[in-house]
Amino acid sequence: QVQLQESGPGLVKPSQTLSLTCTVSGGSISSGDYYWSWIRQPPGKGLEWIGNIYYFGNTYYNPSLKSRVSISVDSSKNQFSLKLTSVTAADTAVYFCARTLDGASDAFDIWGQGTMVTVSS
Amino acid sequence: DIQMTQSPSSLSASVGDRVTITCRASQRFSNYLSWYQQKPGKAPKLLIYAASSLQSGVPARFSGNGSGTDFTLTISSLQPEDFATYYCQQSYSTRWTFGQGTKVEIK
């Protein structure tokens, strides 16, 4: 079965760049039936969609984050990655990667366990 | 942007109760609506997609309905493992958004 696992630093300094990687196992990231997403959740708060990427590289970003976000894919490693620049304390959150159904409703059907990222000096 | 407003924000219910959570959108759209369940410290779990389609492996006591601006998630007979926070999510607009969540607690 397909599993997703986030990895990356748990602590990032203000104004620096947050970088996370999601490794997909049990299936190919190049499957045309899905695309791949990042979602975050500040402590004690709700969920915020960050953006999506198709295996061939097309990306879609949350307009509120678009100027700071970049999502890329490495099919050879079965991974996709998130970069968020110029971070502040407001970017402190649990970051989830997820597989997204490409079809009737674009639902997030498989999630990683999440990784906590704290922005602090 | 499409704002998603869930009601209630929280509710207390007993095992065996029928529970309905509502999600209202700020503008009309088709069935690009999903429901998720999240337990503390865990990732959300997909329950319903395309407004009313039950995700594989999800118990049949969960059902989704609605169209336009009003969508509902119903749990026909609440079980102990159903106490959690539930989120709706739209993927119709260019900015996908979630509702603020509904916490279902034990009465």
**In sequence order, which residues have a C-beta less than 8 Å from that of residue A86 and are 6 or more positions away?**
A15, A17, A68
Angle at A6 between CA A4 and CA A11, to 5 degrees: 170
- Tokens 């329950």, located at residue: B47
Q: Is the pLDDT of residue B35 over 70?
A: yes
CA dihedral A53, A57, A62, A63 (to 10 degrees): -170
Average pLDDT over chain B, rounded to an integer: 96
Asked whether the beta carbons of residue B33 and residue A62 sit closer than 8 angstroms, the reply is: no
Check: CB of residue A82 under 8 Å from CB of residue A69. yes
For A111, which of B43, B95, B99 is closest by C-beta distance? B43
B45-96 pLDDT, tens digit per residue, is 999 999 999 999 999 999 999 999 999 999 999 999 999 999 999 999 889 9
Largest Cα separation within chain B, whole Å, is 39
**Per-residue pLDDT of chain A in tens (121 residues, 90 and over written 9):** 999 999 999 999 999 999 999 999 999 999 888 999 999 999 999 999 999 998 888 999 999 999 999 999 999 999 999 999 999 999 999 999 999 988 767 899 999 999 999 999 9
Query: How many whole angstroms from its chain centre is CA B10?
Result: 12
Taking contacts as CB-CB distances below 8 angstroms, the residues of chain B near A61 are none
Q: Is B44 touching A (CB cutoff 8 A)?
A: yes
